[in-house]
Amino acid sequence: MSRIFSPEDLISFAEDLRPAGYNIGTQQCVAAQQLLVTLAAHARLPADPRELKTWLAPVLCSSAKEQEVFYDLFERWLEQHGFGTPAAPPHAPLETQAPGLSPAARLLKAFHPLRRPRLLLIAAAVVAVAFVLVGLLLLNGPRSLAGKVVDERGQPVQDALIGFGRRTTRSDGSGQFSLALSSSILPNTLTVKHPNYVGASRRLETIPEGLVTVTLRRPTLKQQSNNRQVFTVPDSIIEFQPTPAARRWPSWLILLSPLLVLAAWLLWRARRRMSLEKMQSGRRPLLERIFLRNTTALLFRGASYRRALQELRRHRRREAPEVDSHQTVQSTAARGGLYTPVAGTRTVSPEYLVLIDRASFHDQQARLEDEVVRCLKDESVFVDRYYFSGDPRLCHNEFQTKRPLRLSDLAALHHDHHLLIFSDGASFINPFTGRPEPWVEMLSAWRGRALLTPERRPHWGYCEATLLDQGLFVLPLSQEGLAELAETINADSLPASRRAAEHAPPYPELLRQNPRRWLERHKPRPEIIRRLCEQLRAYLGDDGYAWLGACAIYPLPQWELTLYLGYSLFGARDGLEEKLVALVRLPWFRRSSMPDWLRLALIADLSQPRERAVRQALRELLVSLVERPTDGIALDFSRREVSQRIGTSALADSLRTWARRFKYESLLHALFRAESPDGPLRDYVFLSFMSGRRPGRLAIGVPYTLRRLLFPHGHSALGLRPAAACALVALLALSGWYWVTSRDIPQPTPSGDAQTVPPVEVLFVSREFKWLLSSSTRIAADEQYPVSGGYEVSYYINALEPLLSDVDVVVCVGLASSDGGPTQLNEELAYRRMRALVDGVRGLNLKGRIYGLNLGFYKGERLSGYESDQRRVIIIGIRNARQNVDVEAMLRNTFSADPFSALEVERYSQFTLTDYTTGGNATE
Amino acid sequence: MPFPYYSETPTRGRPAVPVTLPGSRRADQTDPATYLADKGLVDAINVALLLGQPLLLTGEPGTGKTQLAHSISWQLGFEPPLVFETKSTSTARDLFYTYDTLGRFHAAQTGQGSQEGLDYITYNALGVAILLSNNYDDVKQWLPHDFVHDGGRRSVVLIDEVDKAPRDFPNDLLNEVEGMYFKIPELGNARIAAADKMRPVLVITSNSEKHLPDAFLRRCIFYNIPFPEKSRLVEIVLARLGHFSQDSPLLGDALDFFLKLREPNSGLRKRPATAELLGWLTALREIGAGLEQPLRGSPQIASRTLSVLVKSADDQLIAEKLLADWNIGKVE
């Protein structure tokens, strides 16, 4: 049963909510506590604390976004604090709700095995079971039984019928055959039959490995005396020859191999170094966000900045649509009682509509301008912020979660705001005509409008002048510019233009001409790179250039790191904002991408001590992860070894990484560049491992101490973690062991030995008798036996006794036929005739089992060598009959050979041999 | 007279007797007895009532924020809510009263009209509710002669679309809303407070919480009314428009097309909400669409009533195209 959700729990929960962005004040906590107490007083406090979510949400949430995730957070919190498991599936922990991750990424992160040991165990168990099942399926699945059928002289036997269960096949011209089998039909009997040979059979418990050799033999006439023909029917033999290759590998080697591989893998894994490096991918990898300690001070917090920002908040008086009674009374009295109304005024706070020109989501210039907005908000200035990209006719909100708004929409929504545009204004001028874009006029919908540009005042030119002509108040993005802005707004008029007093180096000419060129991965000529670096140094100054070089060390430009490195290099001193404005205006900071050739050039220009200091600062920053901060500098990276990729994918990834690392030496580079056909290549930071090497200049080594923190359950290599690798190896070893042992099947021994066991003998007591049914007393004599009438029959029957005294099986082969007519009647008639014959033989004093075999034929069919209208019987004795001797096959073979070959058993039998061969109907 | 009442060519001539038009269906759609609130909203209302704090409702237009105040009044057995419709020029004082300064001045000047200052005051929603929460004897000195005070009782006050007001509006309200009092400088700075046991129930609606200051948000019980799921929409329609049945082909198709219009990629700038759906279904019935008549295959019926769903020329074009595509099954 769940414990009670107490007021202390509530306080703790509220504390945990705050880092997730909930702005919960004391008043709300008190209200929530009061709610719990009131519910308890009304006996409405739910037994399951999870039901409190809909009660607490209205008190603790203050936005739709907070409400949307509150239920999940609350349930998760309860689960983490021992309130029992929720009925619903588990949700992401609080820290995963950090902004910036897509819902899909959060979901994946929540279910990431690293965060869910139980899931990991379950997944491992499922994989193991699946592995075993697949292994058993492979071992016991469809296999083939192949072999060869030969005769006693080793000559191939064609058309032998090989059967195993219901599966049959025939041998080809070279005696070869192959039969697809599965272990599900085991145990069963393998039979081989051929009309001219004695059949062979062998019972199998398992499907043997190797080839099967079947040696078929023919029955031979042994003697002919005393009116008996004695055929020797030798056993045909089925032998198994194991595959020589199967025994080539010793068992211990098979068992040991996976262990050796595991040991090598563990050693290699332990020697790898962790690093952060830039790689390209057309697919957006699963990014993880870690928070590092943020020790940097905040921007624009200097006294002069704060004064300028506070000025923007100053209340102003506006005309109100009402009469100022006090002033009206005064003015009326002053005019001798003549009613003189005076319009009232109202004090209002100024509101600002801020439009920020954002080149990309990671545009650091836009981030800097966001800082200005944040400071304005901190000073309680009312600001509505939107973003545009070059052309403000379409603006988005911060996360582009809603439809873009047109400028006319914004004018309708915020018509009484002051318009502040953060942009260099270059896109406001048509590059071909040199005139302002037509839409610039739409900005006149706002009475007060200003453009804050990162361009320094001494370098203002045609663009700024044109925009000023359009009524747009152009100001530099600096402390002076903001102060001037406040002054202008308070004065409610455009001030006189000021002259640029300060000196400032110009923006690099190379960048101004074609900024996108310098984002390309294609390396320019060395002298061009040198010129670019010189211009950058001149523009930024020595300190700014060093800052740029420091930023080049981390694989991707990132706003928080830019700030961190700036504070690391120069401390929180005045003037940092101006340097930052100049720095983040560069195209690499606006697009969050810096080509490697430029990074190498900039790092090379850093002095050794400074480079060491920067790398040390970055390492220290990474180590702050140990403190597990929940806020601060957010780094997004992807683990290459994340367990999403396993098996061949992981191997392919590793190969790609390897090829990429040696791309200048490897031809594979060209191939691996095309790894992602579904999107343009983009730069991402990957947490990679390098085998035994120190990280290069373009990579950041990750301290070893973080390995356990980043990979609490062990990092993967080639897509496997140690536990999974050990389990896999164990399974492989077991499978190998099973495979080896299952191949050592004891070979079944032949069922008989032709040398020691007396051969089966078939005695043809009579070749042919003409016999009568009960309706007739006459029996015709053939050329050998004078018989006539009932006497002869009796005589003959009695004469059989000594002939058949030593046989095991008596088979009466009759030619019971009918005179035609309906088939059912024919069958009945033939059966009766056959039965009469068998009964006659049964009357004898014979020890052998008696079977009947009918070879009846239809009247009118001519039987070669025999009278078609005569009824004949052949009595056959079988001596030394024993198990594993297929009597039926033997007789079939015998009848197919001389002197009975003319019978054409198959053709003329009304019924199949099996119908009457083995007792059954005939003997009952 | 059959529909349409008004035609392109007046061939029928002027009727001898005035045409009888149907009564407004709005009353059916706003009947508080048929208002359906989801569980989160129900709990939020109860929390607000338990704690005596204002209930702040946000959500898309048309999701029933305003109607909720009527539903609360109805369920609590109160009189219909006292409504303050916020304007872009509203001030905090307007929520309590307005004073006809000019009239008072004119009366003082000319000696005509009432010389009583009280007669120039008009109490507004929250002011009325605070006065009504007191016994008549306690507040009678502040009541104009035409003010009807029916004894101490509780009221529901709806401050509708507070986000329309200037930014300072909510900030100026903080103390007054929390303490449930107001002052009248025109009457010698009189302070009128609500009786403790009869504090008005305050419901505030806003289309977005973004423009409201944190201090104000913290004093409110907050609930964002999410847009209902399809099954919930069916329940709402059945509750509000009784003549529909759950398996009505007309309702099924109408909901299907309505949800298509609401999809983020539909291209509409203003997506229709529940109120528009109810209006549209009513309009469909009015022009003769049968309950058993599928809408798909009869695009002209839907087309004639589209203006109920979409309210701008741009959206009208997009909706027409969507309707054509949906009708031929191009959009599923």
Chain pair A-B, CB pairs under 8 angstroms: 89
H helices of chain B, in order, are 26-29, 39-51, 65-76, 101-110, 125-133, 136-139, 168-179, 214-218, 230-240, 249-262, 274-286, 299-304, 306-309, 313-327
What is the spatial distance between Cα A274 and Cα A817, in angstroms, rounded to a whole number? 92
Per-residue H/E/C for B55-94:
EEEEECCCCCHHHHHHHHHHHHCCCCCEEEECCCCCCHHH
Question: What are the C-alpha distances in Å from A839 to residues A559, A728, A812, A904?
Answer: 108, 70, 10, 26
Give the model confidence (pLDDT) of A349-362 as tens digits.
888 999 999 988 88
Q: Which residues of A touch B60 (CB under 8 A)?
A: none
- Please state, as a whole number, how many other Cβ atoms lie within 10 Å of the Cβ of residue A348: 16
What is the spatial distance between Cα A404 and Cα A394, in angstroms, rounded to a whole number? 6
Instruction: Please list the residues that pair with A685 across neighbouring strands.
Output: A278
Q: Which residue in A50, A67, A398 has the most chain B C-beta atoms within 10 A of its own C-beta, making it the best mutation to test that interface?
A: A67
Q: Region A753-757: what's the mean pLDDT?
A: 42
Q: A39 touching B, CB under 8 A?
A: yes
Question: In percent, how much of chain A has pLDDT > 90?
Answer: 4
Q: Region A553-571: what's the mean pLDDT?
A: 84
Which pLDDT score, from 0 to 100, does residue A665 have? 39
Q: Which carries the bigger pLDDT value, residue B304 or residue A651?
A: B304
Structure tokens, A144 = 């083939």
- Concatenate the DSSP letters of all residues of A490-540 into one string: HHTSPPPPPPP-S--PPPPHHHHH-GGGGGSSS---HHHHHHHHHHHHHHH
Is the predicted pLDDT of residue A543 greater than 50, yes or no?
Answer: yes
Q: A336 touching B, CB under 8 A?
A: no
Give the model confidence (pLDDT) of A663-722 as tens digits.
443 443 433 333 343 444 566 777 666 555 566 777 777 776 666 666 666 666 666 677
Q: Region B74-87: what's the mean pLDDT?
A: 92
Distance from CA of A593 to the nearest CA of B (A): 31
Q: Which residues of B touch A410 (CB under 8 A)?
A: none
Per-residue H/E/C for A281-309:
ECCCCCCEEEEECCCCCCCCCCHHHHHHH
Q: Region A789-813: what's the mean pLDDT?
A: 57
Q: Which carries the bigger pLDDT value, residue A489 or residue A476?
A: A476
Q: Which helix (H) or strand (E) holds A747?
A: none
Confidence of residue B53 (pLDDT cuts 50, 70, 90): very high
Question: Nearest-CA neighbor of A457 among A495, A506, A412?
Answer: A506
Q: Region A901-906: what's the mean pLDDT?
A: 44
What is the spatial distance between Cα A761 and Cα A220, in angstroms, rounded to a whole number? 9
What is the spatial distance between Cα A533 and Cα A546, in angstroms, rounded to a whole number? 11
Residue whose entry in the numeric block shows the structure tokens 């009248």: B184
Instruction: Please list the residues that pair with A211 across neighbouring strands.
Output: A241
Average pLDDT, chain A: 70
Question: Nearest-CA neighbor of B126 among B183, B167, B75?
Answer: B183
Give the model confidence (pLDDT) of B227-265 as tens digits.
888 888 888 888 888 778 888 888 888 898 998 888 877
Which pLDDT score, from 0 to 100, does residue B135 have? 92
Question: Nearest-CA neighbor of A204 among A162, A164, A251?
Answer: A164
Instruction: Please list the residues that pair with B205 across neighbouring strands.
Output: B57
Question: In percent, how much of chain B has pLDDT > 70?
Answer: 95
Q: Which carries the bigger pLDDT value, residue A779 or residue B329?
A: B329
Which pLDDT score, from 0 to 100, does residue B77 have? 93
Q: Which residues of B touch A341 (CB under 8 A)?
A: 102
Q: Which residue in B43, B47, B265, B315 has the most chain A C-beta atoms within 10 A of its own C-beta, making it the best mutation to test that interface?
A: B47
Is the predicted pLDDT of residue B104 greater than 80, yes or no?
Answer: yes
What does the buried/exposed string (b/e) look like for A450-469 if buried means 16 or more CB atoms within 10 Å of the residue's CB? bbbbbbbbeebeebbebbee
- The strand pair at A418-422 and A449-453 is best described as parallel
Q: Which residue in A62, A315, A415 has the most chain B C-beta atoms within 10 A of its own C-beta, making it the best mutation to test that interface?
A: A62
Question: A58 vs B109: CB contact, 8 Å cut-off?
Answer: no
Q: Which carries the bigger pLDDT value, residue A89 or residue A317?
A: A317
Is the predicted pLDDT of residue A225 greater than 50, yes or no?
Answer: no
pTM for this predicted structure:
0.54
Q: Region A818-830: what's the mean pLDDT?
A: 54
Q: Which carries the bigger pLDDT value, residue A859 or residue B194?
A: B194
Distance from CA of B51 to the nearest CA of A (A): 7
DSSP state of A773: -
Sign of the four-CA dihedral B151, B153, B156, B159: positive
Structure tokens, A798 = 């009695």
Give the model confidence (pLDDT) of A364-380 as tens digits.
999 899 988 888 888 87
DSSP state of B214: H
Q: Which carries the bigger pLDDT value, residue B109 or residue A661?
A: B109
